[in-house]
């Protein structure tokens, strides 16, 4: 994040117009960084609706918003490099290709001509709740309270359909050709023209739900969210959901980008910056089970409190239970859960399904001793019965990512802000 | 577990020969229940080898070992009920079927005639480390220290191949026919003839790695481990890996067995037995990230200690890091990891792969103040960066399952025993 910020600062210095394409934004967003733009909605707004309105969706830009985001779409081109051996290209086509790949160029209309699929998926920044982690011990990375996560419906073409239109039969054909990762490049660039990039493992593609999305909550993608086309890799950390996507490559290796190889990784709590061995640590893909309190309302008589918030697990693992305490974790109440259709996620009723959306929860708890010292705590459980750790001691890391400790809010306080 | 024990006790009363088929066992096993037989190996034995020898593999029987386990295999029959609409049976065959299913009967030779596949998979009881949990607050369930988990290679036919041999094209055809669960029944029975049963969700089958196994570590299945044929559902809790399997059904519902519906579920820490709503809680399938210390050796000079143990995550999620502390969790060292091929699991080097085996770890830590008050602690991280909770307060549940709190051992003490 610091490197990105530095690159963006250089871009601003060297190209005074680097930020000429920034869109108008809702003034309710809490801005964490102006350039590049990083902002999150207020907690009470965030947890007020299962679907986050576009204007309130958290924004995590690594670089300036690129010109393509504010164009009319006619200037958009997506290049897709497919190994010639997979696409069954005739040898003449293969020999005309770049190396062993055939590079295809698609227009926005080409992608939109494929079957449209709509998926509900939460996207979360790996640095969500970094401010709390900094409070435990300083970390390197930008500040985030608990709202660097939002939930939307995304409409686009399945990436598997895009590849099939280019002659790729399926992911197992790619695996047989040595492909292990799908590498994305965005149109957002630093002063030297270096672009944002990231990759996902092949079996995320194989699961079938990765989209090239052109719509968010039924509207064309907003400029801040990747217009005209972005990757939505549901169940995967925000950093891999590349916005303003301009190229896709199928590779035996992860993206070589800074953000794939020298950022967005977890470390042991005792590892300092100098000792961090990025190569030995896996890039963050799926995020662990987490939850947070977004809104607290004490009843007028002061004898009970209603708390509401979100819970989320990566990899499409549904949230099956959320426990809430009003006494700092001594006693717990299982919260009411709201999933995509307004009812509890189906996994809580048995079975194993993918749920890429988040889960909202609410619970009303008695305050037998009044508001006084009451501390609200939330922790969630995913469909593999993974749980959140009590505190920061075991998950603290020098980059301040992956904070999924129990979230605590003093009743009568102002939440996490 | 109590119900199973009661059923087994009734079986023993009413059928004096109920336990006539119990095999000879290694006398190094630590017996937790004699009838039905429940036993675990000593921790130092367990963590001494990546593959657990058959004689040392933990045994969790719910009922007496059935006669088929000690037969010569000629008396073995497996029935498989396939929805007629899926297998494309002609209407005459369909009308001759039981309801809407065709029931096939397979011999052991029929299963062994299919391609043999070998998978390394750890199996863990949901109640592993229950004794620790009981120490926090009493629970209902049989005692287990940290060794109700073991790791072996399993050889058998893929269940998808077995079904294909009966005309089932693939799991999506089953899904289209309304199938949601694969239901297994064992040959082990209580006094009334009620058999052990469990089920797995359809997409565990669809992932392709569920075996009907006849060999364990290259030897025919031992009687205690399901001879002549058992289910190995890698990545899934032991209770669903049905031993002595005698029937398989494809169903829109989970198994109706006690063990599927009234056991092996997790609850909120504040829920007591009377309030436990089994229907609202999902059956345990994948287990959460866990780890334990199995062996501790203090160097002769008393200034350092070497600890060794295991780590495991359900769902095929690899273990990517194990942190060990010698000061109760204040400072940590990342342990050396050993996976299937003697090297660290590949996920620690990037990518997303399935790893059904456990991971062994070792770490040598300084003891600057000597052995004195030193407390060893271990916690592991899976490929989704899920972590273990510090203590029992948040994961304690009245059935004593799913204990994945940090494991602690006093140096100089006798481990967990
Ligand atoms: Mo992020
Ligand atoms: Mo078990």
Using CB atoms, pick whichever of A285, A323, A390 lies closest to residue B268: A323
Phi-psi region of B385 (alpha: psi -120 to 50; beta: other; left: phi over 0): left
Query: Is residue A9 classed as helix, strand or coil in its secondary structure?
Result: helix
Q: What is the reported pLDDT for A9?
A: 63
Q: In this complex, is the C-beta atom of A240 within 8 Å of any C-beta atom belonging to chain B?
A: no
The H or E element spanning position A231 is strand A230-232
pLDDT tens track for B132-163: 999 999 999 999 999 999 999 999 999 999 99
Mean pLDDT across chain B: 91
pLDDT value at residue B371: 80
Across the interface, whether the CB atoms of A289 and B321 are under 8 A apart is answered no
Give the number of whichever ligand sits closest to the CA of residue A283.
1
- Say whether residue B203 is in contact with chain A using an 8 A CB cutoff: yes
Q: Is the separation of the CB atoms in A309 and A47 below 8 Å?
A: yes
CA diameter of chain B:
80
Segment A75-80 shows an average pLDDT of 94
Q: For residues B286 and B204, what is the distance between their CA atoms, to the nearest angstrom?
A: 10
> Which residue of chain A comes nearest to B203, CA vs CA?
A352
Residues in chain A closer than 8 A to B289 (CB atoms): 386
Tell me which chain A residues have a C-beta less than 8 angstroms from the C-beta of B316. none
| Residues of chain B neighbouring A269 (CB-CB closer than 8 A) | 323, 332
**Residue indicated by tokens 């920044």:** A125
pLDDT digits (tens, 9 = 90+) for A243-296: 999 999 999 999 999 999 999 999 999 999 999 999 989 999 999 999 999 999
pTM of the entire structure?
Answer: 0.93
Evaluated on CA atoms A171, A177, A180, A186, the torsion sign reads negative
Going from the C-alpha of A43 to that of each of A145, A298, B44, the distances in angstroms are: 9, 16, 49
Please report, in angstroms and rounded to a whole number, the separation of the first and last CA atoms in chain B: 21
The rounded distance, in Å, linking the Cα atoms of B213 and B233 is: 10
Of A268, A286, A348, the CB nearest to B282: A348
Decide if pLDDT at B353 tops 80: no
Confidence at residue B8, expressed as pLDDT on a 0 to 100 scale: 61
Task: Identify the burial level of A392 via C-beta atoms within 10 angstroms of its C-beta, where 0-12 means exposed, 13-18 middle and 19 or more buried.
Answer: buried
Q: How far is CA B88 from CA B78, B79, B93, B174, in A?
A: 21, 18, 10, 12
Contact (CB<8Å) B389/A388: yes
β-strand partners of A58: none
Interface ipTM: 0.93
Chain B interface mutation, best of A133, A266, A350, A377, highest count of B Cβ atoms under 10 Å: A350
Identify which has the larger pLDDT, B204 or A90: B204
Residues 6 or more apart whose Cβ sits within 8 Å of residue A14? A191
How many angstroms is it from A128 CA to the middle of ligand 1? Answer: 8
DSSP H or E segment with residue B363: strand B359-366
Confidence of residue B86 (pLDDT cuts 50, 70, 90): confident
Q: Does the pLDDT at position B352 exceed 60?
A: no
The rounded mean pLDDT for chain A is 91
Provide the token pair at B237. 């809790």
In tens, the pLDDT along A190-249 reads: 989 999 999 999 999 999 999 999 999 999 999 999 999 999 999 999 999 999 999 999
Give the ligand at the shortest distance from the Cα of A1: 1
A chain contacts of residue B320, beta-carbon cutoff 8 Å: 281-282
290-349 in chain B: CB under 8 A from chain A: 314-315, 320-321, 323, 329, 331-334, 347-349
- The Cα of B261 is separated from the nearest Cα of chain A by a number of Å equal to 10
A71 by DSSP, 3-state: which?
coil
List Cβ neighbours of B148 (8 Å cut-off, separation of 6 or more).
B40, B58, B60, B124, B125, B127, B128, B129, B238
If you measure from the C-alpha of residue A151 to the centroid of ligand 1, how many angstroms do you get, rounded to a whole number? 15
**A233: CA distance to ligand 1 center in Å?**
13
Q: Rounded to whole angstroms, how far apart are CA atoms B378 and B173?
A: 44
Q: Does B272 touch chain A (CB under 8 A)?
A: no
Which A-chain residues 346-405 have CB contacts (< 8 A) with chain B? 347-353, 379, 381-391, 393-395, 402, 404
**Which residue is associated with the tokens 């986050």?**
A52
Lowest mean pLDDT among A151-165, B228-242, B342-356: B342-356
Q: Determine how many CB atoms are found less than 10 A away from the CB of residue B212.
A: 26
Q: How far apart are CA A41 and CA A403, in angstroms?
A: 19
Which of B260, B355, B264 has the alpha carbon at shortest distance from B316?
B355
Residue ranges of the alpha helices (H) in A28-122?
43-46, 84-87, 91-95, 108-112
Which residue on chain A is closest to B179 by alpha carbon?
Answer: A351
The span from the CA of A204 to the CA of A312, in Å, is 18
Which pLDDT tens digit goes with each residue over A379-401? 999 999 999 999 999 999 999 99
pLDDT value, residue A47: 98
Asked whether the beta carbons of residue B288 and residue A386 sit closer than 8 angstroms, the reply is yes
How high is the pLDDT of residue A151?
A: 98
Give the mean pLDDT of A163-170.
95
Is residue A320 a contact partner of residue A345, using CB atoms and an 8 Å limit? yes
Give percent of chain B with pLDDT exceeding 90.
Answer: 81
Question: Is residue A216 less than 8 Å (CB to CB) from chain B?
Answer: no
- Measured in whole angstroms, the distance separating CA B74 from the mean position of its chain's CA atoms is 28
User: Residue with structure tokens 């000792």?
Assistant: A275
Q: Is the dihedral of CA B107, B112, B113, B117 positive or negative?
A: positive
Note the pLDDT of residue A101.
Answer: 85
CA distance A278 to A258: 11
Residue of B nearest to A405 (CA): B389
Q: Which ligand is nearest to the CA of A32?
A: 1
């Amino acid at each position: 994040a610091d490197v990105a910020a530095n690159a963006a600062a250089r871009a601003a210095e060297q190209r005074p117009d680097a930020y000429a394409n920034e869109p108008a934004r809702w003034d309710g967003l809490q801005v964490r960084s102006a350039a590049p733009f990083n902002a999150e909605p207020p907690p009470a707004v965030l947890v007020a609706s299962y679907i986050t309105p576009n204007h309130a969706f958290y924004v995590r830009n690594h670089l300036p918003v690129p010109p393509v985001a504010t164009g009319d779409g006619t200037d958009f081109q997506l290049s897709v490099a497919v190994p010639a051996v997979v696409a069954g290209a005739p040898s003449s086509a293969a020999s005309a290709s770049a190396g062993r790949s055939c590079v295809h160029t698609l227009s926005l209309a080409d992608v939109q001509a494929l079957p449209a699929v709509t998926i509900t998926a939460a996207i979360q920044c790996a640095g969500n709740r970094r401010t709390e982690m900094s409070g435990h011990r300083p970390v390197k990375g930008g500040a985030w309270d608990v709202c660097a996560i939002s939930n939307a419906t995304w409409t686009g073409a399945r990436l598997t359909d895009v590849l099939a239109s280019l002659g790729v039969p399926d992911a197992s054909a790619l695996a047989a050709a040595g492909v292990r990762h799908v590498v994305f490049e965005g149109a957002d660039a630093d002063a030297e023209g270096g672009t944002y990039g990231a990759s996902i493992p092949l079996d995320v593609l194989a699961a079938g739900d990765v989209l090239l999305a052109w719509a968010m909550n039924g509207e064309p993608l907003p400029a801040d969210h990747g217009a005209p086309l972005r990757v939505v890799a549901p169940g995967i950390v925000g950093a891999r959901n590349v916005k303003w996507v301009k190229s896709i490559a199928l590779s035996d290796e992860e993206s070589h980008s800074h953000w794939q190889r020298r950022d967005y990784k977890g470390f042991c709590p005792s590892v300092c910056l100098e000792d961090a061995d990025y190569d030995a640590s896996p890039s963050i893909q799926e995020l662990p089970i987490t939850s947070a309190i977004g809104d607290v309302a004490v009843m007028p008589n002061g004898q009970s409190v209603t708390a509401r918030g979100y819970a989320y697990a990566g990899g499409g693992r549904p949230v099956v239970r959320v426990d809430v305490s009003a006494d700092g974790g001594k006693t717990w109440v299982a919260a009411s859960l709201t999933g995509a259709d307004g009812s509890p996620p189906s996994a809580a009723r048995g079975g194993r399904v993918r749920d890429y959306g988040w889960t909202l929860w609410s619970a009303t708890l008695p305050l037998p001793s009044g508001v006084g010292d009451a501390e609200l705590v939330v922790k969630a459980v995913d469909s593999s019965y993974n749980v959140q750790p009590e505190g920061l001691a075991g998950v603290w890391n020098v980059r301040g990512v992956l904070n999924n400790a129990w979230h605590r809010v003093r009743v009568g306080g102002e939440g996490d802000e």
